Amino acid sequence: MLRLLPLESGGALSNQTTCGGCHINSGRGAPPEPGEAMVTAVVKLFGAGASADGRPTAHPSYGRQLQNINALDASPGEGTATVAYTEQPGQFPDGTPYVLRRPTFRFGGPVAGQIASYSVRVARPVVGMGLLEAIAEAALLERADEIVCNPDGISGRPNLIPDPVSGVLRIGRFGWKAGKVSVPHQVADALVADMGVTTSLFPVEECGAMQAGCQGGASGTPELSDDDEDRQHHPFVELRDQIIHPYSDLLLHDMGEELADTSTSDHLAGPREWRTPPLWGIGLLEAVNGHTQLLHDGRARDVVEAILWHGGEADAAKGRFVALPREDRDAVVAFLRSL
């Protein structure tokens, strides 16, 4: 984990003060339970349209993320986010019942009544990121199929992102929308968005008009040095040229209207499109993080609920799962828990 260095005077608004505050045990976050504060998830905020570099525009008053805790200089946080769930009961063709939970998020404090477009995102596991970065872009493009020529209707496509160092378009492979091209890109974005810490990649915080405590980068000097940011680098020969099974193509897929967020676009990713998250380690989720909640906003309480929320390209596969006898559905779940 990265060490949080002292910030310049004035402090910064944030969601957490350490990487491990969200990525507990390097694992997956979860939304708050009803009535509780948000701890291992964040709220992305959107304005109208997209910016020149393809990212969603930030909320004009509160930037691109709701910072819900106090700044280091004791400036108040921007507000709170709480969740309530509406239950949606259903049953499989064999009569087995299930209940899905549809989340509704409410905002209090200064932001109350001012948030129209947003997306709740739980912290993702950070294991194996170097292995995913090592996959050649050509290998990812081989699996892309934007024309839907496959009989299963699956049509993954890459998200193309300007590299923050070179400006060259590269395939995004990290983040819920595949919006980050490398581990340094992902780490630097999380530092500035989640913790208010600037780096050479993002030397200035994106501050909205109402973010009085948002001053990071005002001096022009990054608060975290390149040497400190690069501490995750592992130049060990024995870790190269591995065969890995992340169970993800790292491409964007249309997951249907039920899972759409309210952004207009994230580079090439539309509101209904999400990167296929790697499934490795999913069977250890409860042991590592004490819960089994899945999907970008954590609404699914287990893998069955996660499957049932899928739509769009996944409709046919979901239909086949739903039609299985109970013992075969259980076998699919047992396989997923073995990853």
CB 89 within 8 A of CB 97: yes
Within 8 A by CB and 6+ apart from 243, the residues are none
Determine how β-strand 118-122 pairs with β-strand 252-254. Answer: unpaired
Residue 157, amino acid = R
Element (H, E) at 101: strand 97-108
* Per-residue model confidence as pLDDT tens digits over 253-287: 999 999 999 877 789 999 999 999 999 999 999 99
Concatenated DSSP letters of 261-321: -S-S-BTTB-TTEEE----TTGGGHHHHHS---BSTT--BSSHHHHHHH--GGGHHHHHHH
Q: Which two tokens stand for residue 257?
A: 């209207």
Q: In the chain, which stretches have pLDDT less than 70?
A: 1-12, 50, 69-76, 146-151, 212-220, 233-236
Residues whose CB falls within 8 Å of the CB of residue 280, separated by 6 or more in sequence, listed in order: 127, 128, 244, 245, 246, 247, 339
Domain spans in the chain, listed from the N-terminal domain onward: 19-337
Nearest to 120 by CA among 188, 65, 61: 65
Q: What is the pLDDT of residue 7?
A: 39
Neighbours of 92 (CB within 10 A): 17
pTM for this entry: 0.90
pLDDT tens for 38-71 read 999 999 999 877 677 777 788 888 888 998 765 5
- Closest CA relative to residue 45, chosen from 124, 105, 126: 105
Could you give the 3-state DSSP secondary structure of residue 104?
strand
Cα–Cα distance measured from residue 327 to residue 94, given in angstroms and rounded to the nearest whole number: 11
80-91/160-162 β-pairing:
unpaired
